[in-house]
Structure 1
Amino acid sequence: MTKIKTSRSFLSMTAAVALGVSAGVAQAEDYDLPRLLVIGTPGTASGSFASTNGWAPVLQEQTGTVARIVPEDSETQRYKRLTDRQDITMSSVSSAEMRFQIEGIGAYAGTKPVAQRVVWHHNDTPWGFVVSGDSDIQTMDDLKKGGVRVAQGAFSPPMTTAVQKALPAYLGLSDEEADELLEFVPASSYVENCRSVVEGKADVAYCASISSVLSEMEGAPGGIRWLNMDQDNKEAWSGYLEHRPMIIPTEISMGVSSAKGVDGLASNFLYAVPADADEEFAYNMAKWFHQGFPDYKGTHALATRMDVEIFRDYLDRSPLPVHEGTVRYLKEIDVWTEEDEARNNEAIAKMDKWIEARKAALAEARDKRVTPDYNNEEFMAIFEKHTEGLEGFRSRL
C-alpha cells in the first residue's frame, strides 16, 4: 500500500538541526492522509458526485484513506456542513457558487462567512448557444437581426440570467434593444429548453454539450449547430461577465461532436476547503490528485478534467485563492509562477475584505437584534452598508 509522504532528506534535517530549528518545523516525519475523508458533492444525479466516486476507490487502494462521498443537493447546506458544522472535509463546488458564498449573495447573506481556498480543479462543464442544423442563424451576430426566439430556462435563475442578461450584453444590446430584437420563450425544464430548437419552438437555446439530450438532438432531422463565441472578442466577453462573472471562455472539447472545436464557455467545479484547513492535508491531496491522475483518469469522463495542465490553464483565469498547501506542491513541480503568487495574494486580500465586512454586518445585526436573513430588509440595509464598494470576484479575460 503506497503512502503519500512529506519526509525531508537527512541532509535537510541535519541542516535544520544545525540552525536550531525543531524537527517539527523541518517536517521530517511522514504524513498520512486522514483515515476517513468526507467529501461533499452536489446530488447523486450530478457529474461531480459520480466522478468523485470514481477516484475515491483509487485513493483508498493507494493510500489507505477511505473517502466517504456525501451528496448534498442544497448548496447552502453543503456550505454550512463544510464551514460551520464541519462534518465534511472538502467540497465540490462551482466557482459561481463559491462567489455567492463569499460575497453573501442571496440566501448566503445571513450565513456564517468563512474564507475558502481551492485545493484542486474538479471539472468544467462546457456550455454554448445551439441552433437547428437548418437554421439561417450562422453566427452570434445574426441573433441581432430581430425576431429571434430564445429559449429561456424558467426553472433556473442562472440560465435565465444567461439568456436574458448575459446574452444581450455579449451582443452589445441595451435592455430596450434586447426587448425589441429577442423574444424569450419560457421552458419548464432543461430538456425542454434544449429540445425547443429542433422542435421549432425556439431559434436558439443555451445548453451544455455533455448533456445526453444533445446527443438525441444531433440525431434529429437536420441535426444541430453551435454558434461560435470567439474567445478573442474581449468586448463581447466583458459584457457577458458583467452578469455571469465566474464563467471561463473556452474551446469546447467535451460532449457531442457538433460542439467540439467551437468556442463557448465553461462552468468550473473545484475541490475547496476552509482557508484554515491543514497545509499538510492540502499539500498531500494536491500531490495525490497529480500523481494518481494516470490511475483514476479513466474512472469517469469528468475525471479527465482533473489533469494538472487543465488546472494550470484555469489558474490563468480564476480569481479565487488557492490553498497554501496546494501552492507549495505546485511550486515543487514548477507550475506555479511569480504572477500566480501575486494574483493569489490579491485574491486572498479580496476574500478577507469580504469576510471581515460580512462579520461586521452580522455583529451589528446581533447588537441591534436584527434577524440576519436576506429576506429581512433591515438586515440587508446593514449588510449593504458594510459591503458597499467592495470589488466582486470575476474571471480574468
Structure 2
Amino acid sequence: MISDLTRRAFLKRSTMAAGATMILPGSLHAELASKMQWTAADVGSSGYIEATAIANALIEEHGSRIRVVPSGTSVGRMMMLKSGRVSLGYMANEAYFATEALFDFSTREWGPQEIRTLMGREALFGIVTSGDGPKSIADLKGKRVARIQAHPSTNFKIAGVLAFAGLTWDDVEAVEVPGYSQGLQAVLDGTVDAAGAVVGASILREIEASSKGIGWLPVPADDTEGWDRINSTAPLFAPATMLQGPGATPDAPVSLVGYRYPILSVLTDTSDDEVYEITKAIVESYPNYKDAAPVMVNYDPNKAGHPPYDAPCHDGAKRYFQEIGVWTEEDEAWNTKRIARMAAVKNAWDAASEAADDQGLADKDWPAFWAEYRATHL
C-alpha cells in the first residue's frame, strides 16, 4: 500500500516540466573507476540508447572507459550482473522478477536475488483501446485483451492494471499474440478490445489517427482502493499522468500507471562508496545527456531519485539523494517496506526448498510447487 501523500508526490513529479531545477552540491565531483562495464537491452533499444548516452557523458567528463554490453534477454542481463562481468545493469522488470523469484527466476538455479537500485527513469504504461471501445478497466470483464506470448513483463503490467478494478486475467478473454507490436496492431484491426501499451510506441499514433480514434482506460490517483489492489502485489507501480501524446493533451490529460525503465541496478553487496560515486556522477552529468533523447529529461533526480522502484534503493545511492535533499520520508518508508518484503520472499523460498527436498520433489516440478507455495505464504 502507498499513502495518499506518496501518491500526490509521485503524481506531482510525473507532471513536472522538463526544465525543473536540479538540486546539486556544486562544489563536489564524483570519483569513478577508470574502467567499467554495464549491460542493457539490445542495440537500438531505448535502454541501450539511454545507457550509451549516459556512458558517453561520463567518459567525456571523467575519462573513464565504459563499455555497454547488450543482451536481448532478461536472464542474460541478470547473469552478467550476478557473475560480476558488469557492475551496473540498465534493467527492465527482470529486476523485480528476480527479487520475487518469478518467471525465469523461479527455477532452483535462480531463486530470489539480492538486487538494489540507484535510480530509475519514469515511464508510463496503460491499457489502450479504440475510441469506441471500453471506457473503464471494469468494462474489460469478458472482453478480448491481448496477451503476449513469452513476454511476462507486459503481461504482468496488464495484470496490475486489471487489479485496479478487482479483475484478473481469468476475468477477460485472453487473446494470444506473438509480440508486443502485434497486440497493438490487433487493437487497430479490431481483433481485440484492448492491449497493454508503453507510451511512446509509434503504432499508438496510427490508432489515434484511425477512424475510431484512440482510448485509454484511466487509472486515477485518487482511487485509493484501486491503487491498494495494484500495490498489494505490484509495489513498483504508482500513479502518473500523460500530459501529451497519443490521445492526451495538457487540457485533457490521461491518468495512467507509472513505472521505471530502465532501472539502474547493482548487486546488494556492492560497496556503498562505489554506488554513491556512480550515482553522483550520473546525476552531475545530467546536463550533458538530458538532450540526447526526449525521454532523457526524466533522469532529472527530482523524478528518477524517488521510488517506487523494482527493488529497494541501494544505501549508497540513498546517501547521495539524502545529501542533495531529494530523499523524502515517504521514500524511506517505501524502501523499508520493500526490503522487508524481499526478506519475506527469501524466507519463503528457503522454507519451500526445505519442504521440496523433504518430499524428494523433482526439479521439473519445482516451478509449480513454488508458485503454489508463494501464493499461499506471501
Paired position in structure 2 for 1:219: 209
Q: CA deviation at 1:299?
A: 1.0
Query: What residue ranges of structure 2 are gaps of 5+ in the alignment?
Result: 1-24
C-alpha distance in 2, partners of 1:263/1:160?
20
Pairing partner for 1:325 from 311, 316, 326? 316
Q: How does 1:243-254 map to 2 (within 5 A)?
A: 244-253=234-243
* Equivalent in the alignment of 2:126: 128
Q: How does 1:1-397 map to 2 (within 5 A)?
A: 32-83=31-82, 85-94=83-92, 96-109=93-106, 110-111=108-109, 114-121=113-120, 123-133=121-131, 135=132, 137-143=134-140, 148-163=143-158, 165-166=159-160, 168-173=162-167, 178=171, 182-241=172-231, 244-253=234-243, 255-256=245-246, 258=248, 261-269=253-261, 270-312=263-305, 314-315=306-307, 317-318=308-309, 320-355=311-346, 358=349, 373=363, 375-377=364-366, 391=378
Change in Cα spacing, 1:259 to 1:49, as seen in structure 2 (3 Å) is farther
Q: Which amino acid aligns with 1:127?
A: F
Cα 1:6–1:324 change in 2 (3 A) is farther
Residue 175 to residue 104, structure 1, CA distance change in 2 (3 Å): closer
CA distance in structure 1 between the aligned counterparts of 2:199 and 2:169, rounded to whole angstroms: 28
Q: CA deviation at 1:339?
A: 4.7
1:215–1:384 CA distance, 2 compared to 1 (3 A) = closer
In the alignment, is the contact (CA less than 8 A) between 1:81 and 1:88 conserved in 2? yes
Give me the whole-angstrom Cα distance separating, in 1, the residues matched to 2:214 and 2:99: 38
Amino acid at match of 1:151: A
CA shift at 1:68, angstroms? 0.6
Partners of 2:354 and 2:37 in 1: CA distance = 31
Q: 1:194 to 1:88 in 2, by over 3 A?
A: same
Secondary structure of 1:92 counterpart: strand
Once the two structures are overlaid, the 10-residue window that deviates more, 112-121 or 60-69, is 112-121
Paired AA for residue 103 in structure 1: E
- Cα contact 1:218–1:258 (8 A) shared by 2: no
- Alpha-carbon offset, residue 214 of structure 1: 1.2
Amino acid at match of 2:39: G
* Residue 49 (structure 1) shift: 0.7
- Counterpart code for 2:165: L
Letter in 2 for 1:98: A
| 1:10-58 Cα distance to aligned partner (Å, 9 max, x none) | xxxxxxxxxxxxxxxxxxxx97311111111122242111111112111
SS of the equivalent of 1:131 reads strand
Q: Secondary structure at the match of 1:69?
A: strand
Counterpart CA distance in 1 for 2:95 and 2:216 is 29
Cα separation, partners in 2 of 1:34 and 1:390, compared to 1, 3 Å: farther
Task: Indicate how the Cα distance of structure 1 residues 214 and 348 shifts in structure 2: closer, same or farther if over 3 A, else same.
Answer: same
Determine helix, strand or coil for the equivalent of 2:189.
Answer: coil
Q: Deviation of residue 235 (structure 1)?
A: 2.2
Distance 1:136 1:368 in 2: 50
Q: C-alpha distance in 2, partners of 1:184/1:175?
A: 7
Letter in 1 for 2:290: K
Shift in alpha-carbon separation, 1:70–1:368, aligned structure 2, 3 A: farther
- Specify whether residues 7 and 235 from structure 1 end up closer, same or farther in structure 2 by C-alpha distance, changes over 3 A only: closer
The CA distance in 2 between the partners of 1:350 and 1:388, in whole Å, is 14
- Cα deviation, residue 129, structure 1: 2.0
CA contact (8 A) 2:276 2:320 kept: yes
Q: Secondary structure of the residue that 1:40 maps to in structure 2?
A: strand
Q: Is the 8 A contact 1:42 1:72 kept in 2?
A: yes
Task: Return closer, same or farther for 1:82/1:359 CA change in 2, 3 Å cut-off.
Answer: farther
Instruction: From the superposition, tell whether residues 233 and 272 of structure 1 become closer, same or farther in structure 2 (CA, over 3 Å).
Output: same
| 2:313–2:335 Cα contact (<8 Å) kept | yes
Q: Which runs of 5+ in 1 are unaligned?
A: 9-29, 392-397
Cα shift readout 1:323-364 (whole Å, capped 9, x = no counterpart): 121122112112223454454344334434544664677789
Deviations 1:280-333 (A, max 9, x none): 221111212222112211112332221111124x42x44732112112211211
- Conserved 8 A contact 1:7-1:31: no
Tell me the TM-score normalized by structure 1: 0.74
- The alpha-carbon deviation at position 383 of structure 1 amounts to 9.7
Distance 1:390 1:7, change over 3 A: farther
Describe the shift of the 1:172–1:356 C-alpha distance in structure 2 as closer, same or farther (beyond 3 A): closer
Q: Give SS of 1:53's match.
A: helix
For 2:175 and 2:199, how far apart are their aligned partners in 1?
21
> What secondary structure does 2:298 align onto?
helix
Q: How many residues align?
A: 349
Q: Give SS of 2:187's match.
A: coil
* Equivalent pair of 1:149/1:184 in contact (CA under 8 Å): yes
In the alignment, the residues of structure 1 paired with residue 300 and residue 365 of structure 2 have an alpha-carbon distance, to the nearest angstrom, of 44
Shift of the 70–331 alpha-carbon distance from structure 1 to 2, 3 Å rule, reads: same
